[in-house]
């Protein structure tokens, strides 16, 4: 027999002996088209948000007084009359604006797309618009279209571009909505004679959206915002415009409820993944627009860990920069972007095109994963290096072929499987102070036996680092400090923050306790599934104490959740409590 034919027969036999892959439900043509459209966006994981407008000039101060809140809201916060705010345009001359430098820095930081405010709630267009003279080319001495320059640079440097457009709130127009319109309140400027919403939608919003979609070389994203006072009629009029652009990605903020192509958790990271495309939008300090005295900067470490955390849950991060009225990025933003870029140059592979972590919880950090050519790669993001130099990957099953350092693939690590976990023997050297990425290369698929805690005839400990922390968008965020037995939930200040633990349990009656510290008498709402009990706890004094949270009864076996929310304490809005663990 011909040799080639034998090889062919052998290959055929091999193929037909392989176990059949598990049947995946077939995707509809619509889902396939959606996957195709979202492909680059899902792959990107990291983008830059830019909030730039007239508000960069007052930068948080009006008539010598500091105005509370985010700077792009200054017109509403300080109740500035339309005619007075308009005057800002006369002096707006961002001569140091350099689209090439902005794009270059975004790319260096590892960002794959930019979304910039083409018109924020103040109604001022940062692009040349025929639909309204209230725009940067016609109303300012600058006389350039910065968004055109940005679009050209993005094309040149190969980065995707999106425009933010405030479709409902337009504080400049008689028909535009404003923040408390839904409460029946009047616009703060009595001289702005009101008109129906559709006058503004048809007269400005629709024509401007047509302009931005037509004149900027084909946008990749249109980012709607704050659908306050929106009507279905208005949403449909705008949707009719976007319908002509099948590849355009839009968010969920056109109308309420509105699916869009992705959801937009703002100023907080969801504790778990979502079964929909999502993108966290986040400021580096507090304000979106430039505010000269906003020094509440997140550290580069926080930002890198945030990006990794989001990627490990299957989402994107849109990280904001608020340029100044001269057209420059604030120094603090530049520093952080460069430092993030430095980390991304070495570790970007562990972010781009990755999928969510297959693990329930990893006490030392996060995991992202990728599958290519029959190889599964696990990227272990080690935030807290185990002191004994032994990195335990819980419940992992698979044919490990190699383990190495992503920043230096020549550095390999020994491993063995022990008691169902993979143990990576890594010397107790801290490779990267923020986040060391170790790659586990596995042939074929992996299986993970979940390390979800299990409560059965006895006790269970639910440590702080197994809690999902639900933080409010704006306000103080409760945070996890440390890991394993040294982990603690700190900065639990906001009453809206909620801690939740998921675990498996058998039926029975259990006494519930929390190892915690509370300076004051406090109230806690404890929820087990739908059962809710309000508990008063005394001050724990100087140190942590096991505090009794009462009895709970579990009727049926299966997955359960316990959540804790503080109803406040006698100390007002100060640190409510610290919590180390829950014990059942
Ligand atoms: O009101 C705006 C705010 O100024 C900013 O643009 C953010 C970004 O997501 N969106 C709105 C608040 O949700």
pTM reported for the whole predicted model: 0.91
CA 378 to centroid of ligand 1, rounded, Å: 35
Over the stretch 166-225, which tens digit does the pLDDT of each residue have? 999 999 999 999 999 999 999 999 999 999 999 999 999 999 999 999 999 999 999 999
Determine which of 142-146, 351-355, 576-580 has the lowest per-residue pLDDT on average. Answer: 576-580
CATH number of 365-448: 2.60.40.1180
Res 552 pLDDT > 90: no
Q: Is ligand 1 within 6 A of the CB of residue 288?
A: yes
Work out the pLDDT band at 272, boundaries 50, 70, 90.
confident
For CATH 2.60.120.260, list the domain ranges present in the chain.
Answer: 461-583
Which tokens sit at 125?
Answer: 């267009």
Q: Is ligand 1 within 6 A of the CB of residue 225?
A: yes
Res 14 pLDDT > 90: no
Q: State which of 266, 287, 294 you would mutate to test the pocket of ligand 1, scoring each by most atoms of that ligand within 8 A of its C-beta.
A: 266
Q: What angle do CA 156, 51, 37 make, to 5 degrees?
A: 55
CA 225 to centroid of ligand 1, rounded, Å: 7
* % of the chain beyond a pLDDT of 90: 77
For CATH 3.20.20.80, list the domain ranges present in the chain.
Answer: 40-350
Q: How far is CA 86 from CA 123, 139, 466, 539, 555, in A?
A: 10, 9, 51, 54, 64
Q: Is ligand 1 within 6 A of the CB of residue 72?
A: yes
Give the pLDDT confidence score for residue 575 in this predicted structure: 64
Over the stretch 234-256, which tens digit does the pLDDT of each residue have? 999 999 999 999 999 999 999 99
* Mean pLDDT in residue range 266-277: 91
Q: Is ligand 1 within 6 A of the CB of residue 266?
A: yes
Over the stretch 444-498, which tens digit does the pLDDT of each residue have? 999 999 999 988 767 888 999 999 999 988 888 899 988 777 889 998 888 889 9
Q: Name the superfamily (CATH) of residues 461-583.
A: Galactose-binding domain-like (2.60.120.260)
How many other CB atoms are there within 10 angstroms of residue 47's CB atom?
24
CA 178 to centroid of ligand 1, rounded, Å: 13
Work out the pLDDT band at 312, boundaries 50, 70, 90.
very high
Give the pLDDT confidence score for residue 84 in this predicted structure: 98
Q: Is ligand 1 within 6 A of the CB of residue 278?
A: no
Residue nearest to atom 10 of ligand 1 (CA): 225
Res 119 pLDDT > 80: yes
Give the pLDDT confidence score for residue 15 in this predicted structure: 35
E strand or H helix that includes residue 291: none
* Mean pLDDT in residue range 266-294: 95
Ligand 1 atom nearest the C-alpha of 51 is: 6
3-state secondary structure (DSSP) of residue 286:
coil
The C-alpha atoms of residue 113 and residue 115 are separated, in whole angstroms, by: 7
Residue nearest to atom 1 of ligand 1 (CA): 226
Res 584 pLDDT > 70: yes
Q: Is ligand 1 within 6 A of the CB of residue 70?
A: yes
Q: How far is CA 523 from CA 29, 537, 565, in A?
A: 52, 6, 9
Task: Say if residues 56 and 322 touch (Cβ distance below 8 Å).
Answer: yes
- 109: which residues sit within 8 A by CB, 6+ positions away? 46, 48, 337, 338, 340, 341, 344
Residue nearest to atom 12 of ligand 1 (CA): 226
Give the pLDDT confidence score for residue 16 in this predicted structure: 35
Ligand 1 atom nearest the C-alpha of 49 is: 8
* Mean pLDDT in residue range 329-352: 98
Q: Is ligand 1 within 6 A of the CB of residue 122?
A: no
CA 442 to centroid of ligand 1, rounded, Å: 43
* Mean pLDDT in residue range 379-393: 92
Class of domain 40-350: alpha beta
Ligand 1 atom nearest the C-alpha of 73 is: 4
Mapped to the 3 state alphabet, what secondary structure does 457-524 carry?
A: CCCCEEEHHHCEEECCCCCCCCEEECCHHHCEEEEECCCCCEEEEEEEECCEEEEEEEEEECCCCEEE
Give the pLDDT confidence score for residue 387 in this predicted structure: 83
For CATH 2.60.40.1180, list the domain ranges present in the chain.
Answer: 365-448
Q: Is ligand 1 within 6 A of the CB of residue 138?
A: no
Average pLDDT of the chain, as a whole number: 92
Q: What is the DSSP letter of 185?
A: P
Q: Is ligand 1 within 6 A of the CB of residue 231?
A: no
Give the pLDDT confidence score for residue 571 in this predicted structure: 59
* Mean pLDDT in residue range 297-321: 98
CA 358 to centroid of ligand 1, rounded, Å: 32
Query: Where does 102-209 show beta strands of DSSP type E?
Result: 113-119, 160-165
Q: Is 304 left (phi over 0), alpha (psi -120 to 50) or beta?
A: alpha
* Mean pLDDT in residue range 527-547: 87
Q: Is ligand 1 within 6 A of the CB of residue 226?
A: yes
**Cα–chain center distance at 39:** 18
Residue 253: what are its φ and ψ, rounded to 5°?
A: -105, 20
Residue nearest to atom 4 of ligand 1 (CA): 72
The C-alpha atoms of residue 127 and residue 121 are separated, in whole angstroms, by: 15
């Amino acid at each position: 027999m011909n040799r080639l034919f034998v090889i062919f027969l052998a290959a055929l036999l091999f193929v037909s002996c392989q176990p059949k892959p598990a049947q995946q439900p077939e995707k509809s043509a619509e889902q396939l088209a959606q996957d195709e459209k979202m492909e680059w966006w899902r792959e990107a994981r990291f983008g830059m948000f830019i909030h730039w407008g007239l508000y960069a000039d007052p930068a948080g101060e009006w008539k010598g007084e500091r105005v509370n809140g985010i700077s792009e809201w200054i017109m509403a916060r300080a109740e500035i009359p339309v005619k007075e705010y308009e005057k800002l345009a006369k002096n707006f001359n961002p001569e140091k604006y350099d689209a090439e430098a902005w794009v270059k820095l975004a790319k260096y930081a590892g960002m794959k797309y930019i979304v910039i405010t083409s018109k924020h709630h103040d109604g001022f267009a940062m692009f040349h618009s025929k639909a309204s003279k209230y725009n940067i080319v016609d109303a300012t001495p600058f006389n350039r279209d910065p968004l055109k320059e940005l679009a050209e640079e993005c094309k040149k440097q190969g980065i995707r571009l999106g425009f933010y457009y405030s479709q409902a709130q337009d504080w400049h127009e008689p028909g535009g909505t404003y923040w408390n319109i839904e409460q029946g309140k009047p616009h703060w400027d009595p001289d702005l004679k009101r008109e129906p919403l559709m006058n503004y939608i048809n007269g400005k919003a629709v024509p401007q959206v047509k302009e931005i979609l037509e004149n900027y070389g084909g946008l990749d994203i249109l980012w709607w915002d704050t659908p306050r006072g929106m009507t279905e009629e208005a949403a449909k009029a705008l949707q009719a415009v976007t319908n002509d652009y099948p590849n355009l990605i839009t968010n969920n903020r056109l109308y309420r409820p509105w699916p869009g192509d992705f959801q937009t958790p703002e100023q907080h990271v969801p504790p778990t993944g979502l079964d929909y495309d999502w993108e966290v939008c986040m400021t580096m300090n507090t304000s979106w627009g430039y505010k000269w005295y906003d020094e509440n900067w997140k550290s580069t470490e926080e930002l890198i860990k945030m990006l990794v955390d989001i990627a490990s849950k299957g989402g994107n991060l849109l990280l904001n920069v608020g340029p100044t009225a001269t057209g420059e990025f604030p120094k603090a933003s530049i520093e952080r972007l460069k430092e993030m870029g430095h980390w991304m140059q070495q570790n970007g592979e562990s972010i781009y095109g990755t999928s969510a972590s297959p693990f329930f919880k990893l006490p030392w950090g996060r995991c992202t994963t990728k599958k290519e050519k029959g190889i599964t790669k696990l990227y272990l993001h080690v935030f807290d290096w185990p002191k004994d130099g032994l990195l335990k990957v819980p419940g992992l099953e698979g044919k490990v072929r190699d383990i190495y350092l992503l920043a230096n693939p020549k550095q390999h690590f020994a491993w063995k499987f022990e008691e169902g976990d993979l143990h990576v023997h890594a010397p107790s050297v801290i490779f990267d102070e923020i986040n060391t990425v170790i790659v586990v290369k596995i042939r074929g698929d992996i299986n993970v036996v979940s390390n979800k805690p299990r409560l059965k005839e006895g006790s269970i400990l639910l440590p702080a680092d197994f809690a999902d922390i639900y933080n409010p968008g704006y306000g103080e965020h409760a945070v996890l400090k440390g890991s394993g037995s040294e982990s603690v939930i700190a900065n639990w200040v906001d009453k809206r923050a909620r801690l939740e633990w998921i675990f498996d349990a058998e039926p029975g009656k259990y006494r519930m306790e929390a190892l915690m510290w509370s300076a004051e008498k406090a109230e806690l709402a404890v929820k087990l599934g739908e059962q809710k009990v309000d508990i008063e706890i005394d001050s724990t004094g100087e140190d942590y104490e096991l505090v009794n949270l009462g009895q709970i009864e579990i009727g049926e076996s299966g997955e359960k959740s316990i959540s804790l929310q503080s109803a406040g304490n006698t100390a007002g809005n100060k640190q409510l409590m610290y919590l180390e663990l829950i014990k059942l």
